[in-house]
Amino acid sequence: MSKLYPFILKNAIMPIADKAMHTNLMKYYHIIKKMNTWSKEDIYCWQLEKLKDLLEYSYNNTDYYRNLFNTINIKPKDINSIDDLSKLPILTKKIIRDNQSELISKRIDSLYYKKGSTGGSTGDPLIYLHDNDSWSFVNANNIFNWEKTGYRYGNKFLALGSTSLYVNKKPSLKHKIYYQLKNKVAVSGINMSDEVCEKYCELIKKENIKYIYGYASSIYLLAKYVFVNNINLPIKVCFSTSEVLKDIYRETIQKAFKCKIIDCYGANDGGITAFSHTKGFYEVGYNCIVRMKEPNENGEGTILLTDLFNYAMPFINYEIGDVIQIDLSINKQYNYNGQIINKILGRTSDIIILGNGHTLTGPGFTILFKDIPVDYYCIEKVDKNSIICWIIKLPSFNEKHEKLIYETLRKQCGEEISIIIKETQKPFLSPSGKALYFLNNE
């Protein structure tokens, strides 16, 4: 495609798509560009005003928040600062599941929204509604931050994700069109064997791809293959996501590609996007307020999110299950006018290398299990030629679900690997008490 394509995409194609799909991607892209020039005080005042609007709307239009405010005997007008959010109880995934209909806006028929489900690295899937304005702001912020690296919206990029995870499951026509417009080349980041990495290298050369986005461990394994085999690829930027970017990952990617590395943190259910253009500083999108539950002396605590734009199903003080670190003293010196996270903790997934050369990464498997009635799963490597998939079944689980799990694992692991599906009565836990979903015991 011509060098003019990014200009045409943003100024002609996407405005038409926004109108047709009832989204506001380009509107918020331009708003974010303008907000990036504001002072910190301006950003804070804007967020506080949006927060007050959200609280008032939630109180008047959802049974859950009206009952909540009345129970604790406060009104939306009592929240006069962002710190005042501490007056409200934390919203957990259990609360959301137990109060699904009560959290949905009574004016839902007048809103445009998408149905979503979490499939992130916490492994604790959740069904929710995502307001189109929230979706638009999040994706506009992605574009804005990618473009800070020299990328232009519409430039071709390789996406190492959960594509082709399922057996015989293909992307919808709508997704194909959307991917084609964005110039997204989607491939699986689940099995990263040498054979697969070789194919991806040939694809990158053939398509002249200069940008890679995907699981941190998947990009690392591709980079490791490139470095070991002394392959020269024209990569300018790698955008890592879904897992902690370990130092060994970063170093290997840098050695292999000699490119910029932007670590990305996000959770659609919480409305958060955050980009680390400088190591140790994640710039949080303006549409989401970040707080912490009981931070320790090191500034580490469970992240709490408030999406200022999700009116379809408001999530206020939402605990998504990740642990972060914020150091206010050093953040004062950093040149960003919004909130800053310094470290993402607790999202690291192991890599499983099987005897047949298939190399599995963890995050993508949550895409499978979010659609299956299990309360918990864990994929465990017993030895180089065998794995066990542990599950806690929900009442609606049946033989079709078990068959889907088995066939999907068979596709990713290969015919030579022994696969057993077993039940467990309780989750496997890390020393810190966090549920584990991917185990490597060899």
What confidence score (pLDDT) does residue 117 get? 80
Give how many domains the chain has, as a whole number.
2
What confidence score (pLDDT) does residue 380 get? 93
**Looking at the domain assignment, is residue 198 inside a domain?**
yes
pLDDT digits (tens, 9 = 90+) for 179-199: 788 899 999 888 899 999 999
Q: Based on the domain organization, do 52 and 122 belong to the same domain?
A: yes
What confidence score (pLDDT) does residue 73 get? 97
Cβ-contact 266, 323 below 8 angstroms: no
Last residue of a domain, which of 331, 347, 363?
Answer: 347
Q: Based on the domain organization, do 290 and 420 belong to the same domain?
A: no
Q: Domain of residue 403: give its range.
A: 372-440
- pLDDT above 90: residue 438: no
**Looking at the domain assignment, is residue 94 inside a domain?**
yes
Token digits of residue 26? 């380009």
pLDDT digits (tens, 9 = 90+) for 43-94: 999 999 999 999 999 999 999 999 999 999 999 999 999 999 999 999 999 9
Side-chain-facing half-sphere of 181: CA atoms under 13 Å: 17
Q: Based on the domain organization, do 242 and 97 belong to the same domain?
A: yes
Q: Based on the domain organization, do 338 and 384 belong to the same domain?
A: no
Q: Based on the domain organization, do 274 and 139 belong to the same domain?
A: yes
CATH code: domain of residue 401:
3.30.300
**Looking at the domain assignment, is residue 363 inside a domain?**
no
- pLDDT above 60: residue 157: yes
Cβ-contact 407, 376 below 8 angstroms: no
Give the mean model confidence (pLDDT) for residues 368-383. Answer: 88
**Pairing of β 343-345 and β 340-341:** unpaired
- pLDDT above 60: residue 440: yes
Q: Based on the domain organization, do 49 and 83 belong to the same domain?
A: yes
Residue 340, φ and ψ in degrees, nearest 5: -130, 135
Q: Which amino acid is at 263?
A: D
Residues 6+ apart with CB under 8 A from 93: 124, 126, 319, 320, 321
What confidence score (pLDDT) does residue 442 get? 60
**Looking at the domain assignment, is residue 249 inside a domain?**
yes
Cα–Cα distance between 233 and 224 in angstroms, integer?
A: 13
Give the count of beta carbons closer than 10 Å to the beta carbon of residue 255: 12
**Looking at the domain assignment, is residue 356 inside a domain?**
no
More confident site: 155 or 438: 155
**Looking at the domain assignment, is residue 190 inside a domain?**
yes
Cα–Cα distance between 33 and 147 in angstroms, integer?
A: 11
What confidence score (pLDDT) does residue 123 get? 47
| CA pseudo-torsion sign 81, 299, 341, 65 | negative
User: Could you give the strand order of the β-sheet that contains 288-293, starting from the edge strand earlier in sequence?
Assistant: 288-293, 300-307, 318-325, 343-345
Q: Based on the domain organization, do 168 and 207 belong to the same domain?
A: yes
Residue 230 burial (10 A CB sphere; 0-12, 13-18, 19+): exposed
CATH code: domain of residue 307:
3.40.50.12780
**Looking at the domain assignment, is residue 26 inside a domain?**
yes
Q: Based on the domain organization, do 80 and 152 belong to the same domain?
A: yes
pLDDT digits (tens, 9 = 90+) for 261-303: 999 999 999 999 999 999 999 999 999 999 999 888 889 889 9
pTM exceeds 0.85 for this model: no
pLDDT digits (tens, 9 = 90+) for 327-359: 999 999 999 999 999 999 865 456 788 999 887
